[in-house]
Amino acid sequence: MGLHPLASEASAALLVVDQQYDFEPGGALPVPNGHEIAAPIAELMNQFQTVVVTQDSHPKGHISFASSYKNKKPFDILKLADVEAKKIDSIFDREILVRYLKSVPEQQQVLWPDHCVVGTSGWKINSKLPIEKAQLILQKGKRVDCDSYSAFFENDGTSTGLANWFRAKNIQKILVVGLAGDFCVAWSAKDAEREGFEVVMDKNLTRFIYSSA
Ligand SMILES: [Zn+2]
C-alpha cells in the first residue's frame, strides 16, 4: 500500500473501529478473515495525522450477551414485544429491558456471545496496530445496560462526544475502517454522515459478520 490519498489532508481523519482479538478468527465473536486487515490498517495509522481507535469494552453480564438470558442463544434477536409479553427470563429486570429496547433502533437487540469483556485477552486491540499513533482510544459499550455499535452514539442515542472531538480538530472527512463492516463500522459511518462529515469507506479495510452486501 502506498500513501493513502486522504493521509496528507489535514482535515481528514482515520477512525479504526474495534480491531480486537475477539472479532478476529479464534476470538469469541469472530468476523471471517477479520485478521487480514490489521496490517494494512497499521500502515494507515502511521500515515494519518489524526487517528481515533475504538475498543468495544463490556462488563460481564452485559445486556447484549445471550448469556444474560435464559433460553436465548447467540445471534437470537431480543424483541421489545417478547419482553412486554413476559416471554423473556433475564438477569435484567423487565423494566430495564423495556426502557432499553424502546430507546434503540427497531426496538430490538441482537444477542451476542460474551465478547470484549474488559481485561480479557479478546478485548485487547490487535498488537499490530500502533496505538501510540492514536490521539484518542474510545472505549464503547461500557454501560452494562446499553450496547454501542457506533463510535458516535450509543444504541440508545447517547452521544459519545466523538463528533465534537473531530470538529474541535477541524476534521471534515473520516476514513472508517475495522470490524465489523455490517455492525460497528456501518453504524459509525452512518452516524458520521448524519453529523455532517464526509465519510469514506474502503471494502478492503473492513470485514463482515454476515455479508458484504
Ligand atoms: Zn460488543
CA of 3 to the centre of ligand 1 (A): 32
pLDDT for the residue 2 = 87
Neighbours of 67 (CB within 10 A): 16
7 has a pLDDT exceeding 90: yes
Distance CA 181, CA 31 (A): 9
pLDDT tens per residue across span 105-163 = 999 999 999 999 999 999 999 999 999 999 999 999 999 999 999 999 999 999 999 99
Instruction: Give the per-residue SS3 of the chain.
Output: CCCCCCCCCCCEEEEEECCEHHHCCCCCCCCCCHHHHHHHHHHHHHHCCEEEEEEECECCCCCCEHHHEECCCCCCEEEHHHHHCCCCEECCCHHHHHHHHHHCHHHEEECECCCCECCCHHHCECCCCCHHHCCEEEEECCCCCCCCCCCCECCCCCECCHHHHHHHCCCCEEEEEEECCCCHHHHHHHHHHHCCCEEEEEEEEEECCCCCC
pLDDT for the residue 65 = 98
70 has a pLDDT exceeding 70: yes
pLDDT for the residue 211 = 72
Domain ranges for the chain:
12-59+118-207, 66-110
Find the radius of gyration of the CA atoms of the chain.
Answer: 17
User: pTM score, two decimals?
Assistant: 0.96
124: alpha, beta or left? (left if phi > 0; alpha if psi -120 to 50): beta
Average pLDDT, integer, range 85-101: 97
- Give the environment of ion ligand 1: residues with CB less than 5 A: 56, 141
CB 139 within 8 A of CB 55: yes
* Percent of the chain predicted with pLDDT > 70: 99
CA of 82 to the centre of ligand 1 (A): 22
213 has a pLDDT exceeding 90: no
19 has a pLDDT exceeding 70: yes
CA of 147 to the centre of ligand 1 (A): 7
Query: Which residue in 116, 146, 184, 191 is the catalytic one?
Result: 184
Arch. (CATH architecture) of 12-59+118-207: 3-Layer(aba) Sandwich (3.40)
CA of 49 to the centre of ligand 1 (A): 28
Average pLDDT, integer, range 175-184: 95
pLDDT for the residue 212 = 54
pLDDT for the residue 1 = 73
- Decide if 191 is catalytic: no
- Decide if 184 is catalytic: yes
Query: Which residue in 56, 72, 140, 191 is the catalytic one?
Result: 140
Neighbours of 93 (CB within 10 A): 10
Give me the residue label for grid cell 469469541.
28
CA of 186 to the centre of ligand 1 (A): 14
- Decide if 173 is catalytic: no
Through-space distance between the first and last CA atoms of the chain, rounded to whole angstroms: 25
CA of 23 to the centre of ligand 1 (A): 10
pLDDT tens per residue across span 77-89 = 999 999 999 999 9
CB 136 within 8 A of CB 100: no
Average pLDDT, integer, range 70-82: 97
